[in-house]
Structure 1
Amino acid sequence: MTKEKIVLQIVTFVLKILLVIILIALAFVVGAMIGYGVLGDGNPFAVFEKETWVHIFSYFTKPTIVN
């Protein structure tokens, strides 16, 4: 293999990985908007507000007791 061919294969591989990451992020955003807006009867764009995520993460975290 020539050096150009190896570089082309590496660049192609990196671009494929980046494409997969972007598609996963896009699917997450669209899914959150559909889940919050359509299924949850809320505003789909409210999913981008900080208060929404604080509320969601509060279900998964234990409250800490401060003495």
Structure 2
Amino acid sequence: MTWKTILKDIAFYVLKVLVVLLLIAAAFIGGAMLGYSVIGGAGDPMDVFNPELWQHVLDFIF
């Protein structure tokens, strides 16, 4: 193997990891919006990005 093929393999591996992390983040955001607005019946799906909502959730946990 040459350095060029090794670097190409590393770049593809890093790209795959970044794509998986991006898909996980998108699934989390979509799931939070769906769960809050549709399943929870709370209203606007964009309210899930409200910091006061997350502080309220954390108050229940801690």
TM bucket normalised to smaller: over 0.9
CA distance in 2, matches of 1:2, 1:53: 50
Structure 2 residues without counterparts, runs of 5 or longer: none
Instruction: Give the CA RMSD over aligned residues.
Output: 0.6
RCO comparison, higher one (Cα < 8 Å, 6+): 2
Report percent identity of matched pairs: 44
Structure 1 residues without counterparts, runs of 5 or longer: 62-67
TM-score, normalised with respect to structure 2: 0.93
Does the alignment pair 1:15 with 2:11? no
Question: How far 1:21 sits from its partner (Å)?
Answer: 0.7
CA distance in 1, matches of 2:11, 2:27: 24
The runs of at least 4 consecutive aligned structure 1 residues that moved more than 3 Å come to none
Structure 1 match to 2:52 = 51
Larger radius of gyration between Structure 1 and Structure 2: 1
